[in-house]
Structure 1
Amino acid sequence: MTPNRNPEMAFEDALEELEGIVETLERGEPALAAALARYERGVHLLAHCQGLLDGAERTVALLTSVDAAGEPTTAPFDATATADRPLPDAPKARASRSVATDDGIPF
């Protein structure tokens, strides 16, 4: 097997081929030389898929606000912006009690 020479290979096609390689290697079917060649091909496919995912991540934009004209303003996606960020506390329910006259009952 040769490394991926097609930089235009679709993510889905590369992932499908990579999954097939993993299944074949997990079954232990190929001889050692063939297994090593498939493993090498898998590494190239994995790098290709990761590159496509990185490129897609850079193109994702987040809506940050709306300007005075009602047009959305966006910012580039930052995956680290929410990493290890504590979750906000749930809003506390406000008790809605009506103010009662003091009738001597504590509740």
Structure 2
Amino acid sequence: MRFIDAGGFTADRPWGALDLTEIDSATVRLHWTDQPYIWHVNDGPEVFVVLDGAVDMHYRQDGEERVERLTPGRICHAEAGDEHVARPAPEARILVVERKGSV
């Protein structure tokens, strides 16, 4: 068994991750960041859970940019093809579950 204090986790670079486990073809990672990611489109589904801090999730729907604020306990589920970018406010720890090797 392994126990992790997510609130105390800090990586050596933005979006650095602690690989927690693989479940079949999915990875479970704890990320820390104080910088935005890049606009991207996932090649598979992704579950994004803010554990500490806040993240402004920018996404495009019907050609329009929208923003949803994610705070601890809020879950974002992105399907393959959903264009989005996560921007911490000002830093965050995030649990991400996605296909192994996903962008």
Q: Which has the higher contact order (CA 8 A, sep 6+)?
A: 2
The structure in which a higher percent of residues are strand is: 2
State the TM-score, normalized to the length of structure 2. 0.19
The structure in which a higher percent of residues are helix is: 1
